[in-house]
Amino acid sequence: MRFESPLELSAILSFTNACFHHDSFGEPSNYVRRSIPSPLEKTAIMNVRVFDGDFMSAPRTVFIEDDRISASPQGVNHTIDGTGRFLVPGFIDSHLHLRKITDLETLSSYGVTTALQISCQNYTAYDKLRGHDGLTDFYTAALQAWGANGIHAENAVRRGDPTTRGILVDIKRHGQLVTPTIATDLGSASLSNVYATVHTMYKAGVPTLARTDAVGQVAANVSHPFGSSLHQELQNLVYIGMIPAEAMDAATRVPAMFHRLNDRGFIAPGMRADLLLLNSNPLVNISNTLDIERVWIGGRQYPSVTGQAKV
């Protein structure tokens, strides 16, 4: 998403510096779920090509049992023909700002199955959003934790600096990463400068995670939407030089590894069944991540995916 107006950008950035609206505590509608969770079924997705982090496999069968991916064909009671389709891990948004349960439903419809909310101490509000089977799983942290030179790297992206070799060396030496948020971390820099800075980090081998800073609707005609913005960020990462597989890794196995989410991020028996079934190959065109046929979150199929929304 691009913001042509400085006022639009200012509204988004000022909102993302805060967490959950305290005046939202008394709004019961913020916690009322519109979608009914689907039942857990032993499901076989047959003849589907599976993304392994680098390539799409030859057609094979993937089994879902309870909330996990299974290796066992026993007890299947639901079969899906995956011929001509592509199975990828559920996406992880490494930083956003949730406010209500409809935010989780929107994320779910776009196949964003895990979300991270950083820097918020509003525990009560977030506890009310937890425990909904079949909706986006999310994690919160009370405080931001900057590693050595982390703030300098963040400022370098915001200014659009041709990032110094020293900062890049420090980031790699300390095993750090970047979450650039190309669409919104602009500060006073031009978008082209931000593209150039993120490209420099990528070419230097700095691990990159996809995040959006999504906040939803913040003012009249001003929004940074949940779900679709993650797909836009994958397109941005390809624009700065990543191949599509690398961009998808930035929203799957790379954040799973760095955030120690050891039960997700790739497709294998025993892993959490967070999955997207796509109609088109995202390794041919990264925008095909939006061509979603089905979504599973913790083994439950989400009833209304983007492009097929019923609400």
DSSP code string of 228-282: HHHHHHHHHHHHTT--HHHHHHTTTHHHHHHTT-TT-SS--TTSB--EEEESS-T
Distance of CA 168 to CAs 129, 203, 243, 291, Å? 38, 10, 21, 36
H-only helix segments in the chain: 6-16, 101-109, 123-129, 150-159, 165-173, 191-203, 228-239, 244-249, 253-258
pLDDT value at residue 5: 44
Cβ density class 270-286: b for 16+ within 10 Å, e for less: ebbbbbbbbebbbbeeb
pLDDT digits (tens, 9 = 90+) for 154-211: 555 555 555 456 777 778 888 888 888 887 754 445 677 788 888 888 998 889 999 9
**Ordered structural domains, the chain, with CATH:** 6-38+85-301 (3.20.20)
Alpha-carbon span 34 to 149, nearest angstrom: 43
- Residues of the chain with pLDDT below 70 are 1-26, 28-29, 31, 119-123, 142-165, 185-190, 218-223, 307-311
Task: Read off the amino acid at residue 253.
Answer: R
pTM of the model: 0.84
Secondary structure of the chain: what % helix, strand, coil (to 5)? 30, 20, 50
Q: Do residues 76 and 44 lie in contact, with contact meaning Cβ atoms separated by under 8 Å? A: yes
Residues 6+ apart with CB under 8 A from 161: 155, 193, 197
Tokens 């069944």 — which residue?
273
Residue-level pLDDT at 222: 67
| Residue 110 three-state SS | coil
Distance CA 207, CA 123 (A): 30
pLDDT tens digits, one per residue of 233-250: 999 999 999 999 999 999
Tokens representing 218? Answer: 């913040």
Note the pLDDT of residue 156. Answer: 55
35 CB-near residues (< 8 Å, 6+ apart): 105, 108, 134, 135, 302, 303, 304, 311
The answer to whether 161 touches 198, Cβ cutoff 8 Å, is: no
Determine the Cα–Cα distance for residues 270 and 282; give it in Å rounded to an integer. Answer: 25
Lookup: tokens for 230:
């993650």
